[in-house]
Amino acid sequence: MNIQMILYIAELFFVVYLIIYSTFLFVSILLGTVELYNMHQMKQYRIDRLDEIDIPVSIVVPAHNESVTIVQTIRSLLALDYPVYEIIVVDDGSSDDTASKVIETFGLHEIEASLRDDLRSRPIRQSYTGHTDGVHILLLVKENGGKADSLNAGINCAHFPYFLCMDADSLLQKDALMEIVKPVMEHENVVACGGLIRIVNGAVFQDGRVVKYRIPYRILVGTQMLEYDRSFLGSRLFLNRFNGNLIVSGAFGLFQKKAVLQVGGYSTDSLGEDMDLVMKLHTYFRMNRRPYTIEYVPKAVCWTQAPSSIKDIFVQRRRWHIGLMQCLNKYWRMFLSFDFGALGWLSYPYYLFYEYLSPFIELAGVVVTLLALWFRLINFSYMVTFFLVYFVFGVFMSVSAFLARVYSQNVLVTRRDIGRVCLMAVVEAFFTRFVVLAARISALFRLRRKKMEWGSITRTENPGPEKKQ
């Protein structure tokens, strides 16, 4: 086989690869938009009153050097519409004043806590407790062990049958906890629920709800907002139809404590501890042939900060991709396995080919295309037309996903904002995606040098849920 034939086959593979991805993106966003519309027009769940909810929840917030945002995060939790819950903050060996800010702001006092050891974690140095607005707050100050280790420590101290994990730089919408618990109340055998993650930059809060949403002024933040909307509207809603989601975001996820204890809690040897736990739950219940579901709840909204610099995006996405590679390598037996149903034939292949391998396939595709042009194996005008159509299609999908999100949350945006969305979608397609691509490729060279440590990303003060901007 000569070089021309090899290049021709490689180029054909790359074109088919892009067509399959575009088709999946179109179908998933179309179905997701229809589902959001139906949910907006009618109630998805019958429960709509607080007095109908009888499931107490422990909210576990792992924190490492989060003094800038931790107080606002806790205040957002205290403003939740929910009957019974507790807040457990786990300070994982912070070198700043995270713990002292929580103690002083909420008037906590030190206690001698009797701690269970259901899950292994690093030693707890001090424990503090108190009550604010009728909500129990527990602060654990422990030796540094990483996010997964901190979550395991928090679960050990949780009093309630379900726990919610969230990041220390995030804000929950006032009804977020009530919304994410509804599937547990409505359906049997729900072991985990994931919510919608949105970018907080540009959101205006009033009484714990978003009353206005504008496009962030920073281009990098705005393009990430579009990426989040496209991802959560597309693949997660689509895979949810088949109980096929492999990820419940670590920024906002509800879990049945008993089920998590049965599988040994969070794995401390993975940078993708959130995905690892979900894949572990899938494996446990599938192999033991026990009924279960893992739900995605788009009406439960968590607002989180997006990195605002190329350096921070690089750090975050490289870490995410290393975690993805670790999880797919660890649970490779899912691939095309009849025991896992749609997980093995749809979910795992999607994450393998269009998440794990996509940066390497795309890079190889660019190299092959350039070589094919050099050897005059493809028509230049045809190639340019194909890629322009592909990118325009991607821009259209991004804008559609954004508008669907805005509609589903009853948020008004101006025509100027819609125009900026279109501009951001173009920038995302031609610039930000290549920054992310470079970060994900670099993950391959960092995989064996990984450290189970917290990522370091610049934080800014969140707009509090009680404030207007």
**pLDDT per position as a tens digit, 29-62:** 888 777 777 766 665 555 555 566 789 999 999 9
- pLDDT given for residue 244 in this prediction: 92
State the Cα torsion 377-379-385-389 to the nearest 10°: -30
CATH class assigned to 56-158: alpha beta
| DSSP output for 227-271 | HHHHHIIIIIHHHHTTT------TTEEEEEHHHHHHTTSS-TT-S
Given a cut of 70, whether residue 351 has pLDDT beyond it is yes
Distance separating alpha carbons of residues 334 and 342, to the nearest angstrom: 10
Check: CB of residue 320 under 8 Å from CB of residue 272: yes
- pLDDT given for residue 228 in this prediction: 86
The residue with tokens 């709509």 is 48
This prediction has a pTM of 0.88
Distance separating alpha carbons of residues 288 and 106, to the nearest angstrom: 45
Q: What are the pLDDT digits (tens) for 421-451?
A: 888 888 888 888 888 888 888 887 766 555 5
Domain residue extents for the chain: 1-44+161-449, 56-158
What are 283's two structure tokens? 């494996």
Half-sphere exposure of 383 (CA within 13 A, CB side): 17
